[in-house]
Structure 1
């Protein structure tokens, strides 16, 4: 058995069928046109379904809004990248030289996308049962880390502004740097003219979330 096949079986608990699908899930656009993007599209939906089903079972008394908050917190690119690091995806990535030199192997964007692509490949190979089992193992600590549904910082900041009769939070991109596969965004958020905070992240959404969290800490 190849190193990749062995790693896939140990990681996902099922022997892979055709390896080509998993090889594609691990291939960045800098390496080949047959890359992970289509599988990422599928895996994102599979992860969402599996997670929604699981949360529905785990928290039978929570309303839809609370379940949505949990779901949104658990399927972010940063969380998917964290799981990818935990299962040691990086040695198996297929990157072009420039992307590797630019640090794509450590990029949350790349690792998060690859994690979703692998879930997509797993679904095509085995149906829903195997990816369901993997997600429930890999996300177990994360799912149980909050007794109450987490409030997203952007939602919490918007609620703070409304409660204090302020204008809704305004987000502004101050800077975008880095290569296409590993961008870095700097965002400023402000509520009226007195309160503002700045933060950076690997995507606009991540940077906005970090800025909202920073401003909430100032306002606390």
Structure 2
């Protein structure tokens, strides 16, 4: 009763963030979680809504996994919205507000990655074009394959996938598995990666999957880059560089 009174008083005084803190501590009864959250939405108070969800997430019992995942997913979307809003307000520049919003997003992912629904999170990050944060989440969850798969179908994401695959810790098996899709999305950059690897992936592991780019209906640019890779592989073998 005391918490409800304090929360209502804070909201009436315009202190929505203070109200959010009190509301988050209410366990059961009225108003419900949904009613409180909807109240902040209707009042157009995104900062208070985030504060409420953060506090609620921190106070949930370990057994409340379903609600924790729901709250975390909602928070992730709100944080992504705040990043976009800051970017728009700063005319596309990476100013202080934008950098602060990105830092909040990354801190949230680092702290709460375990309670997020990975498919929902990867979809949201991909839809918002946040490839760096997508790879951050993948690293935290040790699911680079899922992240690469998601990046490839994200506008501009193939380049980020290639950056991730250039890391010394990147699995060669992932490169082999995703080479055709990456060549489709970013032909020149993918072939640059394949040629630059030391030690290189043996061409016989890649060529069967790449031969389809020689078909008539394949992209001319992809065909050109695959031929560049084949030329490099042949020259390498003739020069005694093969395994």
Structures share a fold, TM > 0.5?
A: no
Higher CA-based Rg: 2
* TM-score, normalization by structure 2: 0.27
Higher strand share: 1
* TM-score, normalization by structure 1: 0.29
Bigger relative contact order (CA 8 A; separation at least 6) = 1
